[in-house]
């Protein structure tokens, strides 16, 4: 799905190379987290690494780094936050896949954590990924003595976004909505909680630690909100149009779970138009950044053009 | 079970009153956490509160406050830490009780969270309690501008104690040990991880935020390690000698799960002697505190004298 805003950007900015470079750096940082763990690692760390290093898009870390760099900050400064966001995302996938929740067998083309190990290990690996996220954030904050108050604010915001008024509440709403007729407003509320909150805080935290002005931080947070919703609309579209080998999971699961989706509520064409509008709004917010906003522009376009 | 060290103390210090007073204050602080949540609260918050406010001993919060006050600190300064420790403890109980883990139906005399609600809600309520613990800690750290580095250190230590090298690893070891013949060293390793790490950090964090010297903090952390192990030995004893109505859960579950315990390895009398020795060591550590260590002395005795 191409947006008229996006055609120009993709020409001048090499997104593929950018994504590959950032993914490699994030993966290297994630690999390093347990480099001093014993050999062989404990079964718990083995399961944590299995899910974490299964080859995700690393969208939240990349958004965080891109936002940091867009306001003049340095990639290495926010790498711990980038890692923490991916750890939290990864834990949420493990728990969402459990038999008591979405009961999924495949994730990123591999057996889900509870299928590869067992349910108890999957629950505990998720718990441990969530916990280590905060360990990493606190450790990074301690190293950065001068900005310790800023790091505490970032930890607070990430916990808010991931917790009972953000992502976890979104999963509760999503489970409660199965088989029910939601309207568009209710569906949007689910997504703003379930995926939007963590995507928004990824961008916001990057901008904060990159030294952005209040105006820049607010604009980037708004950008994060718009692309967060566009991301979910696109997920709904991919669940209809996507292919198993590209998605890494079975398409059609929304219908199987009788989930309300944008296409089911407003039709496929309208859903695509809605995603494009949201990306348009996101790009508006980037105007204050000038040329430094280029990677974020390309990332916004990628959100609705991706195949998985 | 009475220890010779303890008889004197209990006479001069009114532990019952002390515990009741501290429990009330901790409970009031925990109740306040969601006072601005909507009415009625969301199903998620309802489940979180159900497990959190089910009337636990509040041992970790009380140890934290007692350690803080023993070095001259103020109760209100550490109340957010006290709450966070109880939130983490409460999440760990919910997840440990799940069918995929210990599969328990009763906790603190009430149906376990997954019995009262459902499995998905219990998993998410646990996740949310863990997450909100870090939210509270970060918020408290922000308010206490001057000590922000100290708060980051406390957040780091709590995450370490609760995570893949502490409590969660302990639960993994415990599950892996079911039906296996452990020796005493292996059994101790399980408990040092599963319950010891969080009990130790409760005392350590209280001493740190109370403004303790390095010497005081180290002594109190050692006290925490000893009582942590004594706590677990006593739990094993109570699983044999305890009564359902006092325990709030069914005794005999260790044998039902074929778990190695101190009584099963060294006999009931030796287990009791071991617990008393550990308390003796803990009390040795308190000597540098003088009279200010009285509540902690009484708490150590309570650890092995309790009925639940």
pLDDT tens digit sequence for B105-157? 988 889 999 999 999 999 999 999 999 999 999 999 999 978 999 999 999 99
- Residue A155's closest chain B neighbor by CA? B138
Report pLDDT for B1. Answer: 58
In this prediction the pTM is: 0.94
Q: Suggest the residue from B127, B146, B161 to mutate for an interface test with chain A (most A CBs closer than 10 A).
A: B127
Nearest residue, CB atoms, B148 vs list A100, A130, A149: A149
Average pLDDT over residues A173-193: 92
Decide if A123 and B121 are in contact by the 8 Å CB cutoff: no
Question: How is chain A classified by DSSP, letter by letter?
Answer: ---HHHHHHHHHS-HHHHHHHHHHHHHHHHHHTTTTS-SSPPHHHHHHHHHHTS----HHHHHHHHHHHHTT--HHHHHHHHHHHHHHHHHHHHHHHSTTTT--SEETTEE-HHHHS-HHHHHHHHHHHHHHHHHHHHHHHHHSGGGHHHHHHHHHHHHHHHSTTTHHHHHHHHHHHTTS---HHHHHHHHIIIIIHHHHHHHHHHHHHTT--HHHHHHHHHHHHHHHHHHHHHHHHHHHH--HHHHSS-TTHHHHTT---HHHHH-HHHHHHHHHHHHHHHHHHGGGGGGGGHHHHHHHHHHHH---
Tell me which chain A residues have a C-beta less than 8 angstroms from the C-beta of B130. 127, 130-131
Tell me which chain B residues have a C-beta less than 8 angstroms from the C-beta of A142. 149, 152-153, 156
Nearest residue, CB atoms, A127 vs list B130, B145, B175: B130
- Residue A119's closest chain B neighbor by CA? B100
Cα-Cα-Cα-Cα dihedral sign, residues A280, A282, A285, A289: negative
Decide if B159 and A138 are in contact by the 8 Å CB cutoff: yes
Which tokens belong to A57? Answer: 């898009």
Report pLDDT for B86. Answer: 98
Of the given ranges (A36-45, A208-217, B231-240), which has the lowest mean pLDDT? A36-45
Decide if B124 and A168 are in contact by the 8 Å CB cutoff: yes
User: Strand locations in B79-185, DSSP E?
Assistant: 106-107, 110-111
Distances (CA, A) of A140 to A38, A125, A133, A158: 23, 22, 11, 14
- Residue B198 neighbours by CB distance under 10 Å: 22
Nearest residue, CB atoms, A120 vs list B45, B100, B155: B100
Number of H helices, E strands in chain B: 17, 2
Query: Helix or strand or coil: residue B106?
Result: strand
Nearest residue, CB atoms, B149 vs list A123, A148, A168: A148
Residue A3 — pLDDT band, cuts 50, 70, 90?
low
Report pLDDT for B110. Answer: 92
How far is it, in rounded angstroms, from Cα B94 to Cα B123? 7
Average pLDDT over residues A158-170: 97
**How many residue contacts between A and B have a Cβ separation below 8 Å?**
141
Greater model confidence, A124 or A307? A124
Decide if A160 and B118 are in contact by the 8 Å CB cutoff: no
Q: Suggest the residue from A172, A177, A180, A257 to mutate for an interface test with chain B (most B CBs closer than 10 A).
A: A172
How far is it, in rounded angstroms, from Cα A204 to Cα A212? 9
The domain segmentation of chain A, as residue ranges, is 4-305
CATH entry, A4-305, from 3.40.630.10, 1.10.600.10, 3.40.50.2000, 2.60.40.10 = 1.10.600.10
* Residue segments in chain B with a per-residue pLDDT below the cut of 70: 1-12, 244-245, 247-250
d(CA B267, nearest CA chain A) in Å:
31
How far is it, in rounded angstroms, from Cα B287 to Cα B280? 11
Q: How far is C-alpha B288 from the chain's CA centre? A: 24
d(CA A132, nearest CA chain B) in Å:
6
Decide if B164 and A42 are in contact by the 8 Å CB cutoff: yes
d(CA B156, nearest CA chain A) in Å:
5
Decide if A152 and B148 are in contact by the 8 Å CB cutoff: yes
Tell me which chain A residues have a C-beta less than 8 angstroms from the C-beta of B144. none
Distances (CA, A) of A238 to A25, A231, A263, A303: 27, 10, 10, 11
- Smallest CA-to-CA distance from A205 within A15, A45, A70, A57 is with A70
Q: Is the pLDDT of residue A147 over 70?
A: yes
Nearest residue, CB atoms, B156 vs list A121, A142, A163: A142
Report pLDDT for B252. Answer: 75
Q: Suggest the residue from B45, B90, B98, B123 to mutate for an interface test with chain A (most A CBs closer than 10 A).
A: B123
Tell me which chain B residues have a C-beta less than 8 angstroms from the C-beta of A101. 120, 123
Tell me which chain A residues have a C-beta less than 8 angstroms from the C-beta of B141. 152, 155
Tell me which chain A residues have a C-beta less than 8 angstroms from the C-beta of B121. 172
Nearest residue, CB atoms, A163 vs list B95, B123, B132: B132
d(CA A117, nearest CA chain B) in Å:
12
- Residue B175's closest chain A neighbor by CA? A120
Report pLDDT for B40. Answer: 81
Report pLDDT for B219. Answer: 98
């Amino acid at each position: 799905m191409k947006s008229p805003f996006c055609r120009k950007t993709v020409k001048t900015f090499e997104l593929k190379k950018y994504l590959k470079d950032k993914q490699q750096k994030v993966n290297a940082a994630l690999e390093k987290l347990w480099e001093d763990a014993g050999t062989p690692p404990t079964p718990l760390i083995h399961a944590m690494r299995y899910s974490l290093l299964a080859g995700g898009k690393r969208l939240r870390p990349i958004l965080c780094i891109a936002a940091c760099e867009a306001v003049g900050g340095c990639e290495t400064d926010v790498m711990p936050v980038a890692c923490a966001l991916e750890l939290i995302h990864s834990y949420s996938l493990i728990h969402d896949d459990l038999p008591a929740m979405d009961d999924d067998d495949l994730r990123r083309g591999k057996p889900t954590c509870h299928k590869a190990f067992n349910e108890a290990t999957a629950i505990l690996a998720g718990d441990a990924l969530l916990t280590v996220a905060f360990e990493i954030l606190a450790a990074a904050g301690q190293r950065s003595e001068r900005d310790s108050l800023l790091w505490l604010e970032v930890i607070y915001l990430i916990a808010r976004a991931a917790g009972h008024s953000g992502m976890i509440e979104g999963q509760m709403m999503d489970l409660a909505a199965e088989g029910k007729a939601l309207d568009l407003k209710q569906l949007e509320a689910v997504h703003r909680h379930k995926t939007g909150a963590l995507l928004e805080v990824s961008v916001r935290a990057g901008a904060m630690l990159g030294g952005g002005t209040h105006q820049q931080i607010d604009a980037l947070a708004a950008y994060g909100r718009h692309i967060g919703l566009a991301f979910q609309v696109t997920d709904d579209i991919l669940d209809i149009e996507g292919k198993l080998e590209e998605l890494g999971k079975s398409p059609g699961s929304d219908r199987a779970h009788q989930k309300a989706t944008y296409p089911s509520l407003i039709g496929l064409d309208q859903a695509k138009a809605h995603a494009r509008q949201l990306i348009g709004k996101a790009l508006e917010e980037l105007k204050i950044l000038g040329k430094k906003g280029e990677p974020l522009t390309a990332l916004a376009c990628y959100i609705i053009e991706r195949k998985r």
